[in-house]
Amino acid sequence: MSILDQIYEKAKQHPQRVAFPEAENEKMMQAAYETGKDGYIIPILVGDAQKLQALSEERGYDSSVFCFVDIQEEEYKNKLIGMYVAQPGRFLKEKALARRMQDPLYYAMVMQAVEEAEVTFAGIDNTTGDVLLAGQMIIGMQPGISTISSIGLCDIPGFEGSEGSLLAVGDSAVCTNPNAEQLASIAISACDTVKALLDWEPRCAMVSYSTLGSGQGELIDKVVEAVKIAREQRPDLAIDGEFQFDAAISPAVAAKKVGRESKVAGKANVVIWPDLNVGNVAVKLIQQFGHANAYGPMLQGFNKVVCDCSRGAPVSEIKGNIVISAVRAAGMR
């Protein structure tokens, strides 16, 4: 059984409630329906319930698979507001929260914050910035975490890496130009995510255009410093670099370029990009030329699982992201 098969099996054992604030979107509704019908999740469609129900029937879906939540229904909305503002540390007051909840994205996150749902799944109609802002305002961040970041899981046909065809990569969506401290935080979060989700022993490579001093410059210095910080903060994790990408994932290249012992070189299962330019371009290359499914981005640093999928993702990829996010949420409970 492949790792992705194992993730799907985990999801089916403990289906989580996933709130979809963009369910009018045809791809999103199809993905929600198929993952719900197959028993991986309990899909909650958030918005204009009457319109959503009509759309589901028009598209040929069995509406009984869905739970419909109408954001204009006052009694339930007031119940959510009361539960939310009663939580310690919440700064939004009733009126301000009610205004925000006119947007299905914020409504879904309030449901999640008060444990009426385990996951908020968006990103088709909302930008990454929209999802991040709503998540920071409504869900909040994990104690001790100051950097929201992301990790993706690439399933690359023909790739024979240390975990078969799978490779975890980050950050490809959130941190534009992380400094050394932020880069170290991204690496640590990524290791913790893949360990919890995939049961991998993470081997994390921090990459640049240089392998162990083969190049020079401040772009490289940042990565070198990030490796040092990450190791000091989490000596239990195998984090190494700086490596060029091929030296990180290819044993043959690592044997030539890395002239010292390394638990990571040539067999990395987690790769950390130095900035968003590199990360975004790299993932698009992997998808377009490697014909890979890239699951994610999985946002890291929030108190609960918030998922921002790619607006260009096909239904198959959206379904994978939904199931992955549900398994992550089950692991956090």
Share of the chain above pLDDT 70, in %: 98
What do you get for the CA distance between the two ends of the chain, in Å? 25
Which pLDDT score is estimated for 187?
Answer: 93
* Cβ-proximal residues to 247 (8 Å cutoff; 6+ apart), any chain: 211, 253, 254, 257, 258, 265, 266
pTM equals 0.81
Which pLDDT score is estimated for 192?
Answer: 85
Classify residue 170 as exposed, middle or buried by CB count within 10 Å of its CB (0-12, 13-18, 19+). Answer: buried
- Residue 27 CB: number of other CB atoms within 10 A? 17
User: 66 and 29 in contact (C-beta within 8 Å)?
Assistant: no
Give 333's pLDDT tier (boundaries 50, 70, 90).
low
> What is the full DSSP assignment across 12-51?
HHSPEEEEETTTTSHHHHHHHHHHHHTTSEEEEEEE-HHH
Rounded-to-integer distance, Cα 21 and Cα 107, Å: 8
Per residue in 9-44, pLDDT (tens digit) is 999 999 999 999 999 999 999 999 999 999 999 999
Which of 266, 262, 241, 239 is closest to 254 using CA atoms?
A: 266
Average pLDDT, the chain: 92
Which pLDDT score is estimated for 297?
Answer: 78
- Average pLDDT of the residues in 251-280: 96
Which pLDDT score is estimated for 280?
Answer: 92
- Average pLDDT of the residues in 171-181: 91
Give 173's pLDDT tier (boundaries 50, 70, 90).
confident
Which pLDDT score is estimated for 144?
Answer: 61
Which pLDDT score is estimated for 296?
Answer: 74
Which pLDDT score is estimated for 262?
Answer: 96
Q: Which residue has the higher pLDDT, 239 or 325?
A: 239
- Average pLDDT of the residues in 47-51: 97
Q: Tokens representing 100?
A: 């925000």
Which pLDDT score is estimated for 1?
Answer: 59
Per residue in 74-114, pLDDT (tens digit) is 999 999 999 999 999 888 899 999 999 999 999 999 999 99
Rounded-to-integer distance, Cα 122 and Cα 100, Å: 16
Point out the least confidently predicted range of 5-9, 123-127, 258-262, 329-333.
329-333
Which pLDDT score is estimated for 317?
Answer: 84
**Half-sphere exposure (CA, 13 Å, Cβ side) for 135?**
29
